[in-house]
Amino acid sequence: MPDTAQPQALLHTPLHALHLELGARMVPFAGYAMPVQYPAGLMAEHRQCRESAALFDVSHMGQLRLEGDDAAAALETLVPVDVVGLAPGRQRYAFFTNEAGGLLDDLMIVRPQPDAAAAGFGDLFLVVNAGCKADDIAHLQRHIGGRCRVVPMPERALLALQGPKAVDALARLNPAVAALVFMSGGRFELAGIGCFVTRSGYTGEDGFEISVPEARAVELARALLAQPEVGPAGLGARDTLRLEAGLCLYGHDIDATTSPIEAGLQWAIQKVRRAGGARAGGYPGAAVVDRHLAEGPPRRRVGLLGTERVPVREGTPVFDEAGHPAGTVCSGTLGPSVNRCIAMAYVPAALAAPGTALQAEVRGRRVPMTVAAMPFNPHRYVR
């Protein structure tokens, strides 16, 4: 019999109608209809973020809270980072691992201050990737649901205001946000709306991520877009910005077959969770991660710079100078700010040193590439 199953309809974020009003070109992403760019175009949106402030709708991401005195210790059984020692009002990057030391997802963890916890943000507030959120929530409920309460928060939208002038725009709505530093957060009234704000983002620039009730998301977005520094930006600019910043995109640069050490994320594993630390191990794949930390991984994620203006896209094969296969590009683009062809790839550890000459095969032609330190464009976080 013929397959009569209908394709699943794309979900909409609370800002969907606003995107259409602003002339966005919408595309499918992680099950949602999302704006890839607005009429000004990707390059203008990229520059808007680098030079002023850009507003991104990231409401497709998953927001949830963990409730209970044991929440931090419980979460440490699933991630290799220090959650117990996370101070109130501070944020930390983390990742779920599997038994092979691979990455199930990466996420942000905040320990809210008491006022924010009392306002419904839990003992821990988590933001996870859109494409993984259902699996992440099930993973948490299955493994630690008996030790703490896992509460999804689909009633909240998430906006990212990014760029060197983001603080000027947001401080007009509440001057107190200017006191936040990178990877800190708290509860703030913005245009009369109760929000949870962190000074963080995914562009390499200073900026903020704002959790807002979905019913008032459009109201807040309009208030931000009314500021002279702010323009809308879509997924296209978000991708070029994060790639210039050397940041991983789950499902492309990291996945269930990638260890955090291969991915260059060892900086996120605090000493207290490493072999010999007070709370070492106890999470899935700890033996693999500890071995990679001690001995080095077999391959590493590296940055690649091209000498030609030829885009080197995801999936492009990479070769060493002798013509032997040396890996595959996981992300690549023409970097608008660095004005170079940039890419990231996994290569054998012996080829990972900056300055190593490699080649990428684009449409049957070998294009010269050089291993380069990341980020390609300097981070400008406010610490």
pLDDT at residue 7 greater than cutoff 80? no
Domain ranges for the chain = 16-61+155-244, 298-383
Length of the chain: 383
Q: Over 70: is that where the pLDDT of 120 sits?
A: yes
This prediction's pTM: 0.96
DSSP 1-60: ----PPPPPPB--TTHHHHHHTTPEEEEETTEEEEEE-TT-HHHHHHHHHHSEEEEE-TT
Question: Do the domains 16-61+155-244 and 298-383 sit in the same CATH topology, yes or no?
Answer: no
Q: Please report the pLDDT score of residue 136 as a whole number.
A: 98
Report the topology of domain 16-61+155-244.
Gyrase A; domain 2 (3.30.1360)
**Cβ–Cβ contacts within 10 Å for residue 312, how many?**
25
One-letter amino acid at 128 equals V
- Looking up tokens 């009429």, which residue turns up? 39
Whether the predicted pLDDT of 132 surpasses 50? yes
| pLDDT, tens digit, 9 for 90 and up, residues 294-338 | 999 999 999 999 989 998 999 999 999 999 999 999 999 999 999
pLDDT digits (tens, 9 = 90+) for 196-238: 999 999 999 999 999 999 999 999 999 999 999 999 999 999 9
Query: Is the confidence at residue 292, as pLDDT, over 60?
Result: yes
CA 134-345-318 angle, to 5 degrees, is 135
- List of residues 6+ apart from 67 with CB closer than 8 A: 122, 123, 148, 149, 151
Contact 381, 163 (CB under 8 A): no
For position 8, what pLDDT does the model report? 77
CATH of domain 298-383: 2.40.30.110
| Dihedral pair phi/psi, residue 381, rounded to 5° | -75, 150
Average confidence (pLDDT) over 174-199:
98
Confirm if 209 and 224 have CB atoms less than 8 A apart.
no
Tokens 């500890």 -> residue: 290
